[in-house]
């Protein structure tokens, strides 16, 4: 599933222009087509098409793994899930092989939601908090200091890896960047969150910042989904490197399953929590 860096990359391209396409800011929607009704989570497809036509794109941003498209009256939110991507281009034929929804602009271009596995969803709401209200803080939120992060960890008697994937705890982090950050901070993924000392909590927050910033700089990672714009996959420390040498100590990278998610770590650099 695309995570914060991949979603940020797509949102930035939609807002500023990129990926060989223009910015969608200022585009006025003249026609909306929905090719698979379940794509639209809210409202009904009929209401979605009625409400969105005539609205103008004012801004594009991100909240967690959601792309937030601010319109002149409503807000459209897109969650890409496993295989979604947003394509911008010209013409009346929907872009991409698996277009599930397309917005056609008066200016002659379109925004098409390409969604091969049909897991992605779209919302059109008056208030984006109706969809994102339960999300935790953003990793880069200035209010999320090392001290505040430590306090939040102390309140959770949960293993760190699944906690980092919990979007109500921290918004935007997924399997790739959780593994990478835990390795960089030298913390075992099964460590109980409430047992971390302040120094280790600060190290984990710093590591999250570092791997997410690097992911954004490299336009995200391109792994097993439609979006193929990034190269962070060529710079992984542990993710999907099972059996390969740790970049720090040379120990073969291990893989275990935590909360039904493949989890990669170095047994030497990230010692078992029993010995921490």
Catalytic residue among 15, 62, 63, 65: 65
| Burial degree of 77 (CB within 10 A; 0-12, 13-18, 19+) | buried
pLDDT tens-digit readout, 132-176: 999 999 999 999 999 999 999 999 999 999 999 999 999 999 999
Percent of the chain with pLDDT over 70: 97
Enter the tokens of residue 16: 């500023």
Collapse the DSSP code of 128 into the 3-class scheme (helix H, G, I; strand E, B; otherwise coil) and give the result.
Answer: coil
118 classed as catalytic: no
Q: Which residue has the higher pLDDT, 86 or 276?
A: 86
pLDDT the model gives residue 226: 54
CB 42 within 8 A of CB 124: yes
Where do the domains of the chain lie? Answer: 4-132, 146-275
Cα separation, 177 vs 235, in Å, equals: 12
CB 77 within 8 A of CB 122: yes
Enter the tokens of residue 67: 């792309």
157 classed as catalytic: no
Enter the tokens of residue 184: 């960089």
CATH superfamily of 4-132: MutM-like, N-terminal (3.20.190.10)
pLDDT tens-digit readout, 70-89: 999 999 999 999 888 999 99
Residue 228 has pLDDT above 70, yes or no: no
CB 186 within 8 A of CB 248: no
189 classed as catalytic: no
Cα separation, 233 vs 243, in Å, equals: 16
Does the domain spanning 146-275 belong to CATH 1.10.8.50?
Answer: yes
pTM: 0.93
pLDDT the model gives residue 274: 72
Catalytic residue among 255, 261, 267, 268: 261
- Confidence at 13, pLDDT banded by 50, 70, 90: very high
210 classed as catalytic: no
């Amino acid at each position: 599933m695309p995570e914060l860096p991949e979603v940020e990359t797509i949102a930035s391209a939609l807002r500023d222009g990129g990926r060989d396409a223009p910015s969608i800011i200022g585009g006025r929607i003249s026609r909306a087509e929905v090719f698979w009704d379940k794509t639209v989570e809210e409202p009904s497809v009929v209401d979605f098409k009625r409400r969105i036509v005539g609205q103008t794109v004012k801004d594009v941003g991100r909240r967690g793994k959601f792309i937030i498209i601010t319109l002149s009256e409503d807000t459209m939110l897109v969650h890409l899930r496993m295989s979604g991507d947003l394509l911008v281009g010209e013409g009346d034929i929907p872009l991409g092989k698996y277009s599930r929804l397309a917005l056609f602009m008066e200016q002659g271009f379109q925004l098409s939601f390409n969604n091969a596995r049909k897991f992605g969803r779209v919302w059109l709401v008056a208030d984006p908090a109706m969809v994102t209200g339960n999300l935790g803080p953003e990793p880069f939120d200035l209010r999320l200091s090392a001290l505040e992060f430590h306090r939040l960890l102390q309140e959770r008697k949960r293993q760190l890896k699944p906690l980092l994937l919990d979007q109500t705890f921290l918004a935007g982090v997924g399997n790739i960047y959780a593994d990478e950050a835990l390795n960089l901070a030298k913390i075992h993924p099964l460590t109980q969150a409430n047992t971390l000392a302040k120094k280790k909590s600060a190290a984990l927050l710093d590591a999250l910042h570092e791997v997410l910033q690097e992911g954004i700089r490299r336009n995200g990672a391109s792994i097993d989904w439609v979006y193929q714009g990034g190269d962070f996959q060529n710079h992984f420390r542990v993710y999907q490197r099972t059996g390969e040498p740790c970049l720090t100590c040379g120990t073969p990278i291990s893989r275990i399953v935590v909360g039904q998610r493949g989890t990669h770590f170095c047994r030497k650099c990230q010692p078992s929590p029993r010995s921490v």
